[in-house]
């Protein structure tokens, strides 16, 4: 299958609520990046996380197998450091092959759970709109 997407994606808005109404993993507040690799080669992805008041965190390195998807919870990132909760951040994904990135947040501070999702911002190699 033809690889679709871009090699560079940005999510300018990130925030992991520090509270959840439940400890059940299904209902813990979290941020997720869904990465889709439709191509025939593994996607080696580097993730950098940017903050308003300190140096970036990363790189976080992961692989998405050919013709597969990966749902990466920012809450689960630990190496080189965890992503802090209750902190604004942004993220940049760089892949060796074209992929598609979608951003999702589950805000479970209240039992009336809120879910938001949007496509990440595709960037072309010159830094403009993809």
Q: Does residue 128 form part of some domain?
A: no
Q: Does residue 35 form part of some domain?
A: yes
Residue 9: the pLDDT is 96
Number of structural domains in the chain: 1
Among 29, 27, 11, 101, smallest CA distance to 62 is for 101
Q: Does residue 115 form part of some domain?
A: yes
Q: Does residue 37 form part of some domain?
A: yes
Q: Does residue 130 form part of some domain?
A: no
Residue 69: the pLDDT is 98
What's the sign of the alpha-carbon dihedral 77, 13, 104, 39? Answer: negative
Give pTM, 2 decimals: 0.88
Q: Does residue 28 form part of some domain?
A: yes
Is the model's pLDDT at 24 over the cut of 80?
Answer: no
Q: What is the residue range of 78's domain?
A: 6-122
Residue 129: the pLDDT is 46
Listed in sequence order, the DSSP H helices in the chain are: none
For residue 41, what is the domain's CATH number?
A: 2.60.290.11
Q: Does residue 129 form part of some domain?
A: no
């Amino acid at each position: 299958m033809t690889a679709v997407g871009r090699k560079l994606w940005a999510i300018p808005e990130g925030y992991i609520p520090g509270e959840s109404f439940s400890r059940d993993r299904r209902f813990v507040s979290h941020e997720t990046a869904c990465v889709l690799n439709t191509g025939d080669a593994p996607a080696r992805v580097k993730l950098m996380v940017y903050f308003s008041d300190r140096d970036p965190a990363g790189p976080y390195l992961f692989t998405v197998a050919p013709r597969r998807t990966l749902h990466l919870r920012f809450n689960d990132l630990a190496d080189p450091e965890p992503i802090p909760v209750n902190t604004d951040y942004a993220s940049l994904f760089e892949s060796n092959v074209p992929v598609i990135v979608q951003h999702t947040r589950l805000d479970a501070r209240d039992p009336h759970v809120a879910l938001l999702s949007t496509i990440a911002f595709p960037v072309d190699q010159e830094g403009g709109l993809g």
